[in-house]
Structure 1
Amino acid sequence: MMRSSSILLLALLPLLLAGCATLGGPTPAQQAANAQADALYQRGDYQGAARTWDNLSAQSPRSNQGNDYRLRAADAWYVAGQHARAAQLLATVDGAHLHALDAARYNLLKGELALTHDPQQALAIAAMLPSTLPPTLALRAARLQAEAAGALGDHWASARARVRMDNLLSGKARQRNARDIERMLVALGVPALQKQASKLPAGDPMLPWLGRALHRLGSALPKNLPQLMRPAGTVITQGGGSTQEGFHAYRQIALLLPLSGPLKVAGEAVAEGFLTAYFNTAQAQSRPLLRVYDTQGTPAGALAAYQLAQSDGADLVVGPLARDAVAALFDSNPSLPVLALNHPDSTVNPPRGSAEFGLMPANDGTQAAARMLQQGIHSAVVFIAGSDNEQRAAQAFKAQFEAGGGDVLTVQTLPQGTVNYANEIRNAMPGLGANGGIFIAVPPETARLLMPQIRVARLRQPVFASVQVYGGSPNALDKDLDGVQFPDAPWLYDAQPGLPVRASLMHDLPVVAGRGARLFAFGMDADLLSPYFVWLQQHPGSYVAGATGQLSVDAQGHVQRTPIWVQFNNGVATPMAGTLNLSAPTQ
């Protein structure tokens, strides 16, 4: 009897051991199947993954492991578009026995399934989800909140959730999301957008989107002007050696510019400025390898140039120059860091690790408004010639001036085809007291006609202008502009130490003498900024002293430019003392 019992126990031992393996955790075969399901899910075969997890859950239906498998199967069925199957399976999952990420996945899936019939419940569940999730789940959580808020008619909350989605998307999905954000914000209207903007702290990721929506509505968003505290590139001594704070040494830079096509002249001016700064570096061995690529001034050319630069081994891309080319490159989700040389018209922000830098006309209006407010001027009239750039400058001026407590009495558009602006000046006069100011955004030819007529009308208020008021080189006719102040690039007046002297370059580089000088200075700044822009974004208050002004980078990757102030005296544009603390750029 005893011998028979022993034989029976030996026969049952493998079955008992197998049962212990199931009770104590997944068997090696189950672990392999689970890994296979994960791989199928990552490849996008959601139905295959769901079936595998279904099979695993059937092997141990009452265990915690089986509960986990049912959750993963329900999730995979939902992502595969089989929502009814997902809901049926989720109802069998015991949420009380889930922990950490599985608990978040369970709640997320409950919210997604509730969205179609109860968006209020879906929104409540979305608010309960953890703030830190893996990117895939974070994207779904933000989408859940966006769609639930949108279904409830809360465009602001929906747009804010979609802004969180922006950096989690790429390609066409990111473009569609950007259009949805702009559509929702535009639907709110100017007063609501301005009210929301006033509540947001500096650096809030919603602010750039608000600015673009307001621009679409013919308005603008006031800027938080950078508070510049210390220059980048401070030499730090460590262990007998020295490094420059914030400086990143790239091995190979690709410069993407239009060297043929309709933008050839502008591209060549920027290229000459970049190369001048590049070769101005004291030590040749510290320069990265530089390759220049022709984008032909088109989005397709820019994308082709980027691909070629990447295959050639570049680890930084500077450019392209055209707005549509920048938008196309950003939309392609580039893997290399990019310092783009314009701002795209789209609402897409630079990818992480990249930045955008441009000579924006709106910056002149912002700077003029801030300067007038600093001087105690709280009422103003605006004259523009009517181009898109002038309208942008006027919108930015109005937004900044009114945000600071000022009152823009009128914006007068000067008529084309006439030299008599008496009606526009007369319409601007009422209410403009002795302590008021005048802002003009017009080209030099128009300004030389407008200013004498302003004086004939006995308007003695100070006049501030956009940079386009000055052609970039001395002109005897500019005596009519005496007293007018405008923001400009310090290098044009040799007011920035450490850079090549403008006069010494004019003989060999004709572009330096005329209107192309600002593009040349812009090109120099692209080189000066390239080793620092990532660090500047991470260190608010730091700046690079460049040819076009002091350059800082905000949290969204937009380069902010603080110019100097210049005034016409006896027809000569002369830098005004005390408008910018200058220091030599470190390269």
Structure 2
Amino acid sequence: MTRMTTPITAGSHWAGLALALVLGSGCSTAPPEPLTPPPQAMAPEEPVEIAPELPPPMPVSRWDAVFAQARAALQARDWMAAEQALAELPQTLAGEDRARRDFLLARAAFLRGDLDDSQRRLAATRNAATPEALRIERAAFSAEVAHLAGDWLASARTGAGILSEQVGDAALRRAVWADLNRAEESALAAELSTATDRDWRGWVELALLDRRAENRQALQEALQQWRSEYPEHAAAVPLPGGLDYIARGPASPSRVALLLPLSGRLAPAARAVQDGYLAHYFAAQARGEPSYALSFIDTTAFESATAAYRHAVAGGAEIVIGPLSKEAVTELGQLPERPVPVLALNRTDSDALQGGSALVQLSLAPEDDARRVAELAYGSGARRALVLRPAGERGARIEDVLRSSWQTLGGSVVGTASYASAEAYSDNVKNALNLSASEQRASDMRSMLATTIEFTPRRRQDIDVIFLLADSPAEARSLKPLLAFHYAGNVPVYATSSIYSGVPDPRDRDLNGVRLTELPWLLGSNPGLRVAIAAGNTGSDNLARLNALGADAWLVQSRFAQLQAGADALLRGDTGLLRLDPSLRLQREPVLAIFDGSDLVQP
């Protein structure tokens, strides 16, 4: 078979992109550094944990049975039952009992969606006699509320305060580090300039040095210095996010192969991924980072993805990135043995066999958008949702993921409307809002009174958020104005990234006010790399999301060893915050954006 490997050379069509990145590298943020993945099977390792220091129990109270009943109801997310139980308590409660009641009522108000009442009741407990166990529980609840509201630093600061007393809480360490990674670098720098608590300063300094390190060696030195300054810190052993595996300093790979369909139907998508990867590759070269051999293999020239993979291995690849299609990834996932690890650029529906080296899956799965959009809406105080989605398997699948996440949080879906054609948009929206029933009532009233009456249709009042799961910007631009036309213009609308093309469009003014999940890449992350891709004149910058996927392929490859931290592994990518699940799928957390007129901005 003819060898279909394309090495990077000065004469290749990527030379313009390389030159643009070398000249423009000063504008780009420093990406993570190359790192050799383990050649053996990569099963996520459990982090070293310190036994948690449990807080003392609540003091005994004559009202313990009532408090226990309310807590059980809150655990089941039944705020009404919790409030009914607490109503049995006398209004004249004092001291610790009053603090416990007000805290439980604050939790119930949050579940109910009344965020102002929740905060008012929570504030009332701060001046009351508070048992230590309740104080820690209250802090954890405050951190959760701040996290759902997108106040990352407040959430992280509160969580770090709890960790200073309970250093062994691995889940809380994970949450604090994730919130610090969600915060903008400028916000971290501002926080550091005013922070006085030494433990909190340690957290912020660690997040900043990880963000700012120029290369692997600089990061390793910075981590060593940080540990020497904070040897007893809650984040010191192990370092969060899998940074311990960076600190150990493995060597870089000598050869990397990308398996992409560089010809045929998927060629434009493949070249967009390729350009995103190369943007990071050449930026790293411009900073003088260690070089490695890189080749691209056209998967369409082989009879199967397996054959392309074996060709890459025979050529000496130490890690394989790709393939791109779901079918090809599924095929590699069923291989009983893989000599070198794979970073696949799609996600399979079934678990991959993990005999041999790992198969890690990175993708732009819309399910990740659906989960995130549920969290964002819930954090805003919405609890009762109407779902608008296209008919068909894909719309049903996305709704199922959204519904599951929404209900797990504590929200309810009070109605769903699916549409099969543009002609049906108006009728479907009208019926979903129960306007037809309102009109029928008016008609019945006219008949009964035998006279003409003034009438304004009244939509259903049991919704406080609308989830718009449109397949395309055109669908969304048609549906959003219909909501206002049918008297639902004041209901917040949340959507997935499918409503935005990735390219500014004046027609998006019809989406004004819609909140959606989007890639950091499209909201300004790594601007130098985007400029370089455009300057390379490859034409792929119109497929910006796939550029971002390629950029994150480089990121994950460069920090592949961090994935050995398992659930602790965390990477701040251009497609979102990346976490590894037990099936070695990288779950992606996009960010909140909003349409301001036709412009997409971060609120």
- Bin of the TM-score, shorter chain as denominator length: 0.5 to 0.7
Give the Cα separation in 2 of the matches to 1:374 and 1:344. 30
Give the Cα separation in 1 of the matches to 2:546 and 2:432. 37
Contact 1:480 1:571 in 2 (8 A): yes
Contact 2:352 2:583 in 1 (8 A): no
* Shift, 1:388, TM fit: 4.0
Amino acid at match of 1:390: G
Contact 2:434 2:460 in 1 (8 A): yes
For 1:482, which of 488, 512, 518 is the aligned residue? Answer: 512
Amino acid at match of 2:469: A
Query: Does 2:325 correspond to 1:318?
Result: no
* Shift, 1:419, TM fit: 6.0
Task: Tell me the secondary structure at the aligned position of residue 348 of structure 1.
Answer: coil
Contact 1:257 1:294 in 2 (8 A): yes
Amino acid at match of 2:275: E
- 1:273 corresponds in structure 2 to 276
Give the Cα separation in 2 of the matches to 1:510 and 1:425. 46
Task: Tell me the secondary structure at the aligned position of residue 418 of structure 1.
Answer: helix
Contact 1:262 1:297 in 2 (8 A): no
Task: Tell me the secondary structure at the aligned position of residue 237 of structure 1.
Answer: helix
Contact 1:253 1:315 in 2 (8 A): yes
- 2:465 corresponds in structure 1 to 437
* Shift, 1:567, TM fit: 0.5
Structure whose alpha-carbon radius of gyration is higher? 1
- 1:361 corresponds in structure 2 to 366
For 2:491, which of 457, 461, 468 is the aligned residue? Answer: 461
Task: Tell me the secondary structure at the aligned position of residue 587 of structure 2.
Answer: strand
Which 10-residue stretch deviates more, 546-555 or 385-394?
Answer: 385-394
Query: Does 2:330 correspond to 1:302?
Result: no
- 2:146 corresponds in structure 1 to none
RMSD: 3.1
Query: Does 2:431 correspond to 1:426?
Result: yes
- 1:291 corresponds in structure 2 to 295
C-alpha change, 1:251 and 1:399, in structure 2 (3 Å) is: same
Give the Cα separation in 1 of the matches to 2:261 and 2:533. 23
Q: Deviations over 1:74-127 (max 9, x none)?
A: xxxxxxxxxxxxxxxxxxxxxxxxxxxxxxxxxxxxxxxxxxxxxxxxxxxxxx
Amino acid at match of 2:370: G
Structure 1 gap ranges (5+): 1-223, 577-587
- 2:380 corresponds in structure 1 to 375
* Shift, 1:246, TM fit: 7.2
Contact 1:326 1:340 in 2 (8 A): yes
Which 10-residue stretch deviates more, 563-572 or 240-249?
Answer: 240-249
- 1:391 corresponds in structure 2 to 396
- 2:73 corresponds in structure 1 to none
Paired residues, what number?
Answer: 350
Structure 2 gap ranges (5+): 1-170, 182-206, 214-218, 227-244, 436-458
Contact 1:511 1:517 in 2 (8 A): no
- 1:500 corresponds in structure 2 to 528
Amino acid at match of 1:463: V
Write the mapping of 1:128-143 to structure 2, written as runs, cut at 5 A. Answer: none
- 1:572 corresponds in structure 2 to 599
Bigger RCO of structures 1 and 2 (CA < 8 A, at least 6 apart): 2
Task: Tell me the secondary structure at the aligned position of residue 291 of structure 1.
Answer: strand
- 1:543 corresponds in structure 2 to 570
Query: Does 2:555 correspond to 1:528?
Result: yes
Which 10-residue stretch deviates more, 284-293 or 384-393?
Answer: 384-393
Contact 1:260 1:296 in 2 (8 A): yes
* Shift, 1:462, TM fit: 0.5
Give the Cα separation in 1 of the matches to 2:558 and 2:292. 10
Which 10-residue stretch deviates more, 267-276 or 339-348?
Answer: 339-348
C-alpha change, 1:362 and 1:239, in structure 2 (3 Å) is: closer
Contact 1:247 1:532 in 2 (8 A): no
Task: Tell me the secondary structure at the aligned position of residue 280 of structure 1.
Answer: helix
- 1:33 corresponds in structure 2 to none
Amino acid at match of 2:574: A
C-alpha change, 1:480 and 1:529, in structure 2 (3 Å) is: same
* Shift, 1:369, TM fit: 0.8
Give the Cα separation in 2 of the matches to 1:508 and 1:432. 53
- 2:114 corresponds in structure 1 to none
Give the Cα separation in 2 of the matches to 1:247 and 1:519. 30
Contact 1:422 1:453 in 2 (8 A): no
C-alpha change, 1:479 and 1:246, in structure 2 (3 Å) is: farther
TM superposition score normalised by structure 1: 0.55
Query: Does 2:499 correspond to 1:473?
Result: no
Report percent identity of matched pairs. Answer: 28
Task: Tell me the secondary structure at the aligned position of residue 413 of structure 1.
Answer: strand
Task: Tell me the secondary structure at the aligned position of residue 334 of structure 1.
Answer: coil
Query: Does 2:476 correspond to 1:447?
Result: yes
Q: Deviations over 1:353-412 (max 9, x none)?
A: 331111101111111111111112111011112354433321111010011111112221
Amino acid at match of 2:345: L
- 1:557 corresponds in structure 2 to 584
Write the mapping of 1:509-520 to structure 2, written as runs, cut at 5 A. Answer: 509=537, 511-514=539-542, 516-520=543-547
Which 10-residue stretch deviates more, 503-512 or 529-538?
Answer: 503-512
* Shift, 1:329, TM fit: 1.1
C-alpha change, 1:553 and 1:432, in structure 2 (3 Å) is: farther
* Shift, 1:533, TM fit: 3.2
Task: Tell me the secondary structure at the aligned position of residue 278 of structure 2.
Answer: helix
C-alpha change, 1:247 and 1:303, in structure 2 (3 Å) is: farther
- 1:210 corresponds in structure 2 to none
Amino acid at match of 1:310: V
Give the Cα separation in 1 of the matches to 2:253 and 2:397. 36
Query: Does 2:256 correspond to 1:263?
Result: no
Q: Deviations over 1:186-239 (max 9, x none)?
A: xxxxxxxxxxxxxxxxxxxxxxxxxxxxxxxxxxxxxx9984256668712299
- 1:336 corresponds in structure 2 to 340
Give the Cα separation in 1 of the matches to 2:301 and 2:577. 28
Give the Cα separation in 2 of the matches to 1:564 and 1:558. 19
Amino acid at match of 1:466: T
Which 10-residue stretch deviates more, 518-527 or 244-253?
Answer: 244-253
Give the Cα separation in 2 of the matches to 1:408 and 1:362. 18
- 2:188 corresponds in structure 1 to none
C-alpha change, 1:553 and 1:511, in structure 2 (3 Å) is: farther
* Shift, 1:524, TM fit: 0.7
* Shift, 1:266, TM fit: 1.2
Contact 1:551 1:559 in 2 (8 A): yes
* Shift, 1:270, TM fit: 0.8
TM superposition score normalised by structure 2: 0.53
Contact 1:263 1:297 in 2 (8 A): no
C-alpha change, 1:246 and 1:441, in structure 2 (3 Å) is: farther
Give the Cα separation in 2 of the matches to 1:276 and 1:520. 9
Task: Tell me the secondary structure at the aligned position of residue 481 of structure 2.
Answer: helix
Amino acid at match of 2:560: F
Q: Deviations over 1:509-565 (max 9, x none)?
A: 464543x11011100100111122342341534422211112222232111211111
* Shift, 1:330, TM fit: 1.9
Contact 2:318 2:341 in 1 (8 A): yes
C-alpha change, 1:327 and 1:247, in structure 2 (3 Å) is: farther
* Shift, 1:313, TM fit: 0.8
* Shift, 1:482, TM fit: 0.4
Q: Deviations over 1:143-202 (max 9, x none)?
A: xxxxxxxxxxxxxxxxxxxxxxxxxxxxxxxxxxxxxxxxxxxxxxxxxxxxxxxxxxxx
* Shift, 1:441, TM fit: 1.2
* Shift, 1:240, TM fit: 10
Give the Cα separation in 1 of the matches to 2:464 and 2:531. 38
* Shift, 1:475, TM fit: 0.9
